[in-house]
Amino acid sequence: MKKLLSVLVALTMVLSLMAGCGSGGDEKKETSAPKQEADGSASDQGGSEKADAGTEAAPQEEGSQNYDKVKIASPIPLTGPNSQYGMAYKNALEMAVKQFNESGGLGGKEVELEILDDQSDVTQATNLANQIIDDKDVFAVVGTFGSSVGMATAPIYQSGGMPLIAPNISHQDFPQTGDLLVPISPTATIEINGVADTLFACTGEGSKMAILYATTDLGVNVNSILTEKWPELGGEIVYSNSFVSGETKDFSALLTEVIALEPDIIYTSGEYYDVASVILQARQLGVSEDVIFSGPGQCFTQEFLDLCGDQAYNGIYCGTLPAYFEDVITKENYSDTMVNFMTDYNNTYSEACNGFAGNCYDGIMLTLLAARKVGTDDPKALVEAIVSYEGYESVSTEHLFFSDYNYANKSLCAYTVKDGHFAKVEY
């Protein structure tokens, strides 16, 4: 009996280890749902009067442009595992289109928004993509959530001559997949390089960094870029080790080593609870009060603040998106556009404003403004107008621009935590 038990136990453990590796794979759902026409009425209930987020100036130099096509298609996950992000997209899309039409639309014509449910499913998204490129009225696609769907459908749009503006694809290979593809999120490489610059500006020459990274694609990428870039800047990497995000609750073994090396800054790449665990456990192990804790944009949540309590002091948390808190996004810190966007969004919708909505709003608004400039007939010209658009005031960053044709760049947002609230770091 005991032998059988031991075999069983050993088997279970092996299985459990493998289960850890397998999770987070593709979440497939049987699909059959046909396209869903979004009814714009549902979301308009809030009493937002100032429809103008201040982004768009008066209709510019139109007249000669051709606006035969007036439809934007948005395949986003309205059902399925990522539906919460899809809903944020939907809200932002409808808000932007409404504002754009109120400000004059495309030469007097109203832009039509067609929201389709791709369920975050590659098969469904592929079908939708083929359907969209056959639609003669559609001049651009703003949508797709996540890299797996985005990377699968990008070639279809590219070969179908359809510009794809993707709010949240940070996959390294996305921009170079085609010249009609425009990501609004910087690639991971661009972001982490920015993080390194920001942190270095805050800590200064010769500062010693310890890195704890999750064993995910992103974590490994963060580690390799930081270990290369930090010494180039003039700092020193004293420690680097990985952990399994979500499963590792006890960081004391790693932190004991880290603390013995006396770093100036401890960077944790992982989820908000990983960063919080590191901070709390390091303080218990008697880490020096001068050590700066740092983490990614995933920390910009109320949950993170709650977990850390009063222990999060002396931290710098950097991401490409701002922390959409009412006490952070203020007119002293950010542009009126951004503040107005957040206020409008929060007044109109029951869910709080977040980075997904911000990116999506930027994506569609930039597309519409570019279309107003160059018309909707020529996909290539439209994309060129988007990536070279001057004077657009982003709602998801202080400064949005494109480099190397279609690589998105954003100024980083860095925050520290003071008295349980995020506060902007000037560097």
Partner 1 sequence: MFLQQLINGLTLGSIYALIAIGYSLVFGVLQIVNFANGSIYMLGGFLTLVLYNKFRINFLLCFALALIINGFVGFCLDRFALRHLRQKKATKLVGLITTMGFATVIENFVMLFFSNATVPYPNKIDFGSFSIGSAVVSSTQVIIFLVVLVLLLLMSWVVYGTKVGKAMRAVSQNADAAKLMGIDVNGVIAMTFILSAVLAGISGTMVGMYYQMIDFTSGFSIGMKTMAAAVLGGVGSLPGAVTGGLIIGVVESLGASYISSAYRNAFAFAVLIIVILFLPNGLFGKEKVTKV
Closest to partner 1 by CB, 3 or 136: 3
52 binds partner 1 (CB under 8 A): no
Q: Which two tokens stand for residue 351?
A: 């869910």
Residue matched to tokens 């991971």: 188
CA distance 401 to 388: 8
25 binds partner 1 (CB under 8 A): no
Q: Could you say which residues in the range 213-272 bind partner 1, by CB under 8 A?
A: 215, 241-244, 246-250, 252-254, 256-257, 260, 272
Asked if 272 and 307 count as a contact pair (C-beta separation under 8 A), the reply is: yes
Closest to partner 1 by CB, 200 or 213: 213
Which one among 239, 273, 313, 389 touches partner 1, defined by CB under 8 A?
A: 273
420 binds partner 1 (CB under 8 A): no
Mark 292-331 with x for binding to partner 1 (rule: CB under 8 A) and - for no binding: -----------x--xx-x----------------------
CA distance 256 to 426: 31
Length reported for the chain:
427
**Is the C-alpha dihedral spanning 234, 236, 242, 247 positive or negative?**
negative
Closest to partner 1 by CB, 57 or 285: 285
CA distance 167 to 170: 9
Closest to partner 1 by CB, 187 or 281: 281
| Nearest partner of 157 among 143, 141, 174, 168, judged by Cα | 141
84 binds partner 1 (CB under 8 A): no
421 binds partner 1 (CB under 8 A): no
Sheet holding 112-117, edge to edge: 112-117, 71-76, 138-142, 164-166, 181-183
CA distance 374 to 386: 10
Question: End-to-end alpha-carbon separation of the chain, Å?
Answer: 65
Closest to partner 1 by CB, 96 or 254: 254
1 binds partner 1 (CB under 8 A): yes
352 binds partner 1 (CB under 8 A): no
- Residues making contact with partner 1 (CB under 8 A): 1-3, 5-6, 8-10, 12-14, 16-17, 20, 215, 241-244, 246-250, 252-254, 256-257, 260, 272-273, 276-277, 280-281, 284-286, 303, 306-307, 309
